[in-house]
Structure 1
Amino acid sequence: MAKAQDKEAKAAAKKARKQASKERRQQLWQAFQMQRKEDKRLIPYMVGLFVLIVAIFVGLGLLFGSVWLLLPLGIVLGLLAAFILFGRRVQRTVYTRAEGQPGAAGWALGNMRGQWRVKQAVSGNAHLDAVHRVIGKPGVILVGEGSATRVKPLLAQEKKKAARVVGDTPIYEIVVGNDDGQIPLNKLERHINKLPKNIDGKRMETLEGRLSALGGRNPQGPGMPKGPMPGNAKVRGMQRTARRKG
């Protein structure tokens, strides 16, 4: 009886994996079709990169007398490089669509890879300027988006509140934008990942509990949207698919 149940469970799991794999392939194909229509350089760049890498490995094979050994490796690496290029161009398209829209920074933070504790819109105002809070190995990171003149007081207020409970944990302030001293949306994740690691996972848990006890967002103004944003919902699927495969 137990063996029969195990067999059924394995069959069900195998079927689920096949279905999930089929859905990922469909999403990937849809993402490729959408990106191809918007990005006329996508296919030439992908083909050119693939051909270049294969040519390099063929050249190395001719040089060392092992073409048939290096050619398959060149094809595999060429396909991988072309796919990475595709994923990055999809991501750039998504960020371009999201940039400047209310909630874009919160959306970008929510899509970061790694062990980050993101709380969107812990403070905001009626103009949809907002401050988002991130807890990670660097410490506490406050990310403001909106008008710099309006968001800086919000950041200062939120930093003052956080400083009362985080002790000597570093608190970083970031304003998202394209002006001097600001971080562009498409470079936000990279900038945060470059911050020094100052605390461990246990400390992160403690900080999350303390900061959560401070309460939610500033009651002034309407609630911030929890993410954009790119007007077409399929674009979000494009990014998730590219990130999963990349």
Structure 2
Amino acid sequence: MADTDTPKRGFFRRRPKDPSKPGRIAQMVQVYKMARKHYPAVPWLLAAAILGGAAIGVVVGLLLPPIWLWIVFGVMVGLLGAVFMLGRFAESAAFEEMRGQPGAFGAVLNTVRRSWLAEEQPVAIDPRTKDLVYRATGLGGVVLLSEGPKGRTAKMLEKERKRHERVLPNVPITCIQGGEEDGQVPMSRVSSTVRKIPKKLNKAEVLVIRKRLAALGTMSTRPPVPKGIDPNKVRPDRRAMRGR
């Protein structure tokens, strides 16, 4: 018997909104507040972008009438520029809030996307120092990203690289040291660094690699995740980081 209490969706009827999720305007307000918290000059920069677009429209309109059309066009361009700037400031603010928290680099690696899939839990952990190594797979092969001081994590990365090469002998493996020391990659550059890795595999090969790594990452001899390291708690809001 059909459930008569559940309303049917028509072809042109919108999906009902989830009351637990904020709307677009509420999201933009949250993004603005987070950016302004870390960068007080954000309101003035956004206003400058909009007014600058309008000024350009006025100048072009004086040369190529009608002026009102170019003013509207300039304001729209200024708004797009302001939204782009707000997204960049929000991304930097999100990194600042995550800085120093265990699992922060794993959370940033999860935001890369674009044919890359990162694992939520680290693949290597030092229970004493809580240094971590995270992994992502994609068309560029395998990425191993460390979190911790340069001297300690270098040995962990090399050990994980050799371990992965035994399972994936012909797969490119890229090791990245995450951190703020010389020679390390800061959180703000992790995504761009991973995206620059050349694509050398196809989708079918990536699926085979992930199946092999699934068994490698669930070995009973691997240590459990120490308490206090939960990438889910420090994962940034992707909508906020994109300024949406």
Q: Deviations over 1:129-161 (max 9, x none)?
A: 011111011111110111222211111111111
Change (3 A) 1:110 1:140: same
Q: What's the counterpart of residue 208 of structure 2?
A: 206
Q: What's the counterpart of residue 123 of structure 2?
A: 122
Out of 176-185 and 129-138, give the one that drifted further: 176-185
| SS in structure 2 at match of 1:117 | strand
Q: Contact 1:121–1:224 (CA<8 Å) still a contact in 2?
A: no
How far did 1:45 drift?
Answer: 0.3
Alignment equivalent of 1:132, drawn from 122, 131, 134? 134
How far did 1:118 drift?
Answer: 1.0
Q: Contact 2:87–2:242 (CA<8 Å) still a contact in 1?
A: no
Q: What's the counterpart of residue 45 of structure 2?
A: 45
How far did 1:190 drift?
Answer: 0.7
Out of 146-155 and 60-69, give the one that drifted further: 60-69
Out of 20-29 and 203-212, give the one that drifted further: 20-29
Question: Identity rate of aligned residues, in percent?
Answer: 29
Q: Deviations over 1:152-181 (max 9, x none)?
A: 111111111111122322110000112222
Q: Deviations over 1:111-143 (max 9, x none)?
A: 223222212310011211011111011111110
Does residue 226 (structure 1) correspond to residue 224 (structure 2)? The answer is no
Q: Contact 2:135–2:143 (CA<8 Å) still a contact in 1?
A: yes
Distance in 2 of aligned mates of 1:153 and 1:13: 57
Q: What's the counterpart of residue 188 of structure 2?
A: 186
Q: What's the counterpart of residue 66 of structure 2?
A: 66
| SS in structure 1 at match of 2:16 | helix
Question: Which ranges in structure 2 are unaligned for 5 or more consecutive residues?
Answer: none
Q: What's the counterpart of residue 242 of structure 1?
A: 240
| SS in structure 2 at match of 1:142 | strand
Q: Deviations over 1:15-51 (max 9, x none)?
A: 5259699623223223323433443101000000111
| SS in structure 2 at match of 1:121 | coil
How far did 1:62 drift?
Answer: 1.4
Q: What's the counterpart of residue 159 of structure 2?
A: 157
Q: What's the counterpart of residue 36 of structure 1?
A: 36
Q: Matches of residues 6-25 of structure 1 in structure 2 within 5 Å?
A: 8-10=8-10, 14=14, 16-17=16-17, 23-25=23-25
Distance in 1 of aligned mates of 2:52 and 2:212: 54
Change (3 A) 1:28 1:211: same
Q: Contact 2:177–2:185 (CA<8 Å) still a contact in 1?
A: yes
Does residue 79 (structure 1) correspond to residue 75 (structure 2)? The answer is no
TM-score, structure 2 as length reference: 0.85
The one-letter amino acid paired with 2:69 is L
Out of 151-160 and 108-117, give the one that drifted further: 108-117
Distance in 2 of aligned mates of 1:112 and 1:222: 25
Q: Contact 1:130–1:224 (CA<8 Å) still a contact in 2?
A: no
| SS in structure 2 at match of 1:100 | coil
Out of 59-68 and 11-20, give the one that drifted further: 11-20
Q: Alpha carbon RMSD of aligned pairs, Å?
A: 3.0
| SS in structure 2 at match of 1:16 | coil
| SS in structure 1 at match of 2:52 | helix
Change (3 A) 1:37 1:173: closer
Distance in 2 of aligned mates of 1:165 and 1:22: 44
Structure with the higher fraction of residues in helix conformation: 1
Alignment equivalent of 1:215, drawn from 214, 217, 225? 217
Distance in 2 of aligned mates of 1:148 and 1:92: 23
